[in-house]
Amino acid sequence: MRHLIRKLKLTEEKEKRILRQLENWETHGKHFLSGTTLGLEIAEEIRQHTHVLSKYVLAPMDETDDQFIRVHKELNDLETGLQKYLERIQKLESMATKHELRLKCVEAEMEKKDEDAIPNNIRVC
């Protein structure tokens, strides 16, 4: 229990208070187990302390879960944004390919016109 309490990283004051209560339970717990009248008081105290400890243990878990959810959402948003950029890049590449093909066609037409512009008697073929 002491190890668990220290791992919770509570404030020094809270940690000392809980450790004192734990020592109190250790001292009076022996009487409880031997059947003295302190049993009900100690049982109630144990219940209260267990409840408090469970809150301290669960609080970091809730915080971690919230952080996980935020990070997960941010990653999903990032993935969506990257997917949009990828689609845009693919569209631009497709347009570039079409323009390149069109440019080759225009160049071929211009070469043909240049060849047609040269009189047949001057051509060296």
Weakest mean pLDDT among 9-13, 60-64, 114-118: 60-64
Give pLDDT, residue 95: 92
| Residue 22 belongs to some domain of the structure | yes
Q: Which residue has the higher pLDDT, 101 or 111?
A: 101
The closest alpha carbon to 40, from 50, 24, 28, belongs to: 28
pLDDT at 34: 59
In this structure, is residue 125 part of a structural domain? no
Looking at the chain, the whole-number percentage of residues with pLDDT higher than 70 is 73
- Say how many domains are in the chain: 1
Residue 124 lies in a domain: no
Q: Is the pLDDT of residue 8 over 60?
A: yes
Confidence (pTM): 0.38
Axis crossing angle, helix 39-117 with helix 12-33, rounded to the nearest 10? 140
**Residue 122 within any structural domain of the chain:** no
What is the residue range of 59's domain?
2-117
pLDDT range class, residue 88, cuts 50, 70, 90: confident
What is residue 103's predicted lDDT score, i.e. its pLDDT? 93
